[in-house]
Structure 1
Amino acid sequence: MFTGIVQGVAVVDDIKTATGLSSFAIRFPPHQLEGVTIGASVSINGTCLTVTRQEKDLLFFDAMQETLGLTTLGNLSVGDRINFERAARIGDEIGGHLLSGHVHTTARITAIDRPENNCTLTFEVPETWSKYIFPKGYIAINGASLTIGEVTGNQFNIHLIPETLRATTFADAAVGEQVNIEIDSQTQTIVDTLARMGYDRPAS
């Protein structure tokens, strides 16, 4: 499990591709790798991956074809910056909301507004997932736990403070960029339960 509090930014150092598999070498800030072990879980742009090897400040991960197809990991290039979070431990503070690291879908950035000391990003999600997105609800974008701002149809925005921009890759965001989305599990459970009870049907 993860908390959605991004611990820092790492850089893709190398990518090796094979049939149905990509292997990533990612360079982390050295102070963030204390106690890391082979088999540990790390959130890479919101996707839970398993450490397969370590060389100094490099961690290695494998991603199968299904993961590459469902997330933005298949679009990564050498030199790209990514958000990361190591798996939460018992007793850790939950500063965001609990995440599984299982990406539900991707979204596209459709607009960026940068007034002084602020940044607002607008995203478009597939219609299928818009039913889980509510104003002031939680959502995870590239592994960061964020509060939803305004919602219009299948588009929504988030408002970012300078600290979030400093600690994540959102400062590099560009219109048209695809991001990983993990829907809040509690919201999904409530919406799906109500749907099974028939409350999502239009009144007759």
Structure 2
Amino acid sequence: MYTGIVQGVGQIIDILDQDKLRTYKVKFPHKLTSNLEIGASIANDGCCLTVTGFEDDWVTFDLMEETLALTTLGDKKINDYVNIERSAKYGDEIGGHVMSGHVSCTATIVDIQKTATNCEMTLELPEQFMKYVLYKGFIGIDGASLTIGDIKQNRFEIHLIPETLAITTLNTKKVGDKVNIEIDSQTRAIVDTVERVLASKKLN
């Protein structure tokens, strides 16, 4: 379980591609290396990955074929950066919203408007996921818990404060870049339940 509050940024320092498997090594901020264990779950750009090895300030992860196909991690190169969040512990403050680290899809950035104090980003989402995107609802973008702004057709806006830009990779994104999306699980459950109820009433 995660909170969507990015704790730091890691740099990919090595990649090994094999048949239907990618192993990559990420250099971690020192503050995030304490009490690491093999098998621990850590979110990389919002995708829950399992620690397969670690030493000093680096950690390795294995990425299976489905992860590579569904997320942006298959496109990463050496020296690219990823948002990092260690898994939440019971009793931790939930500053964002509860997230699973299971990426739903990717979205494409279609517009970025920056001022001295604000960054407004417009993203285009596959149409089948738009029913879960609600004004003022939650969404996970590359592991960051964010509030949804205006919605138009299959596009929605988010507003990024300077603190979010300073501690995540979102400040480096450009128009045309893709980001990992995690749909809020409660929103998905409610929408899917309502759809099932309405569908059953039509059949009766």
Structure 2 partner of 1:46:
46
1:22 aligns to what? 22
| Residue of structure 2 in register with 1:175 after alignment | 175
Q: Could you say which residue in structure 1 is the equivalent of 2:145?
A: 145
Runs of 4+ in 1 over 3 A off after TM superposition: none
TM-score normalized by the length of structure 1: 0.96
1:120 paired to 2:120? yes
Deviation at 1:198, TM superposition (A): 1.5
- Counterpart CA distance in 1 for 2:31 and 2:191 is 41
Q: Percent of counterpart pairs with the same letter? A: 51
* Residues paired across the two proteins, number: 202
Partners of 1:17 and 1:187 in 2: how far apart? 36
Match of 2:69 in 1: 69
| CA RMSD, Structure 1 to Structure 2 (Å) | 1.5
Match of 1:193 in 2: 193
- For 2:112 and 2:66, the matched residues in 1 are separated by 30
Partner of 2:103: 103
Query: Which ranges in structure 1 are unaligned for 5 or more consecutive residues?
Result: none
Distance 2:11 2:121 in 1: 23
Q: CA deviation at 1:81?
A: 1.0
What displacement does 1:117 show? 1.1
Distance 1:72 1:39 in 2: 22
Secondary structure of 2:132's aligned partner: coil
**CA shift for structure 1 position 123:** 0.3
Q: TM-score, normalised by structure 2?
A: 0.96
Structure 2 unaligned blocks of 5 or more: none
Residue 171 of structure 1: CA displacement? Answer: 0.7
